[in-house]
Every structure is written in C-alpha cells, then in structure tokens.
Amino acid sequence: MLPKEVLIEVVRSAPLVSIDLIARRPDGAVLLGYRRNRPAQGFWFVPGGRILKGERMAEALVRIVRRELGEAVPVTGWRGAGVFEHLYDDNFAGVEGVGTHYVVLPHCLDVSADVVLAPDDQHDALQWFAVPELLARADVHPYTKAYFRTEGEGAA
C-alpha cells in the first residue's frame, strides 16, 4: 500500500484502474453499499476497489471480492461488463483541488438469494435494490446508475 502522500500525487497525476462488483440475486436485485469515504461519499454505490501496482486483474478481483463481499461470495464466475470512466472533483484524502479519474472494469456475478454479507469499513450498510428503484433514487450515485441505464442493450 502506498503512503497517503504518494497516493495523492498519483491521483493528481494519473488515472487509477479499478474493478466494480455488480452482484445480482435471482430476483434481479443488485447489491449496493452506502459509501463512508471519498469519492462518492454519502451515496449508494456498487462495491469495488482499485487494482494495485504489480497486481494482476484476476488477483485484484479475488482480493476485492473478499474484502468488499466476504467469504460467502464466489471469486470465480465473474463476467466483465465493459469499461467505464468515473471522474470526481474530490479524492480519497479530501485534498483541495485534486480530482480523481478512474478507469473502471465492472464485473458481474449472479449470487444466491440467501448469501450473507456484512459491510466492510468503507460502507455503513449493504442493501439489495431492484434496478428500477436504484435508478429512481437520488442517493444512488450516477456512476452506479450508468451500469443499469442501458440494460436492454447489454449492460450489467
């Protein structure tokens, strides 16, 4: 893990690459976490995390699934769902004038209806949302909504 001062210089200078996790139950509900930290603080957002330097994408996926969703969720069977960009005016540290640019590789997995999850230190809560509900809510982040706006056209 990079020291905060080094990571903020990376955020100031380059895009970060991350993986978002789109977990969906058989009834179509999607898992969202209520974000405790920046960016996207105070919004419902799909779980996810950045890929670390020297970490293969497959390794990052396993690490992120385990950290964000726990042991009950499989680390295999995830399907890529395209490439997205997320641009924020703020950053993880709250440093004024430093925005964050993510190149995001969302991955989808159908999970069982009885999977048991608990929020990690980045989320105050985890909750399942029907897609029409999450699209209608003001407290679901627009970048999360973007994964579902074009569902009929092959999105998550």
Residue ranges of the annotated binding site for Mg(2+) are: 48, 68, 122
Residue ranges of the annotated binding site are: 48, 68, 122
Q: How far apart are CA 31 and CA 71, in angstroms?
A: 16
